[in-house]
A = this chain, B = another copy of it.
Amino acid sequence: MTYCVAVKLDAGLVFLSDSRTNAGLDQISTFRKTMVYERSGDRFITLLSAGNLSMSQSVREILQTHGIPGAPDQPPINMWNATSMFEVARVLGDAIRYVYERDSDALKAAGVDCNVTMILGGQVQGEAMRLFQMYAPGNFIEATTDTPFFQIGESKYGKPVLDRVITPATSLADAAKCVLVSMDSTLKSNLSVGLPLDMVIYKAGDLHSHTVLCIDEKNPYFQMLRNCWGDSLRAAFNNLEQPDWSRQPSEDNPLRSPSNAAMALRKICSPTDKLI
């Protein structure tokens, strides 16, 4: 399994991935799922990948080197000569389709899970930053102000904190902190997501990466975050008001509203009257 998340903010882009690859619990490896492609002043592109590792490696190879056929008498288009992020996404989608066509029958025949999903984000000179989620059939969607983040892989454990914190106005620092908290929840619940983490931070308009980090279990900031987030979450929880559960149900107990529905549920059941 994998967990990757990317956020598009007014201030820039933040990417985070784990690095665990497994073929069964007894066959675990570390492979980087984040790729940064940049030519300073011209383009900054980051690609996160989840799913079958052989397929995603093939897709990246095509994207970086061979590319896909362009117009007649023109060289193939790859990520280095594409003229926009949309064109990069289109090339990536075509590369995913090509690898599917080449490999999927053989993989399915062998009973191997045959899927690949990716997140592509960045900026090409002359246009704004863009962030895309790529699906297995090679189609893709783009992040908007309503939905400023994408997740691939084991996405559910880490989604609640993103939902609560991330908006386009969030700062890069807060977004970086937030994706680390989101990753922490995922690491805690799914053994097949594992350290080290790769984080990439990009400031809008820079056309080169601001920060590229490798975070392992000895990283003091991530250690602090993991320890303190549990305490902070418990403190937040303790601060929430709670109704007086020791009282018998009554009309003025706010948990018992609407009182009719609640009272209808409160049945003492017997063998002949068992349903609530």
Contacts and interface: CB of A to CB of B under 8 A. Distances in A.
Interface stretch (A20-28, A124-132, A264-272): A264-272
A41 B249 CA distance: 20
A232 B261 CA distance: 30
A19 to B, nearest CB: 11
Given A213-B265, A242-B174, A276 B181 contact: no
Interface string A228-267: 1110111111011111011001000011111001101111
Nearest to A160: B185
The listed residue with most B CB atoms (<10 A of its CB), out of A34, A156, A225, A256, is A156
Contacts of A201: 245
Contact of A163 (B37, B159, B164, B188): B188
A90 interface: no
Contacts of A40: 268
Nearest to A209: B266
B257 A64 contact: no
B214 A181 contact: no
Interface stretch (A102-110, A113-121, A136-144, A215-223): A215-223
A212 B276 contact: yes
A89 interface: no
A191 interface: no
A259 to B, nearest CB: 10
A217 to B, nearest CB: 10
A246 to B, nearest CB: 8
A121 to B, nearest CB: 15
A212 to B, nearest CB: 5
26 contacts: A32-B276, A35-B274, A35-B276, A36-B276, A37-B274, A64-B274, A157-B157, A157-B159, A157-B160, A158-B160, A160-B161, A160-B185, A160-B189, A164-B230, A173-B242, A198-B265, A211-B245, A212-B265, A213-B249, A214-B261, A214-B264, A216-B258, A221-B255, A222-B255, A232-B240, A236-B236
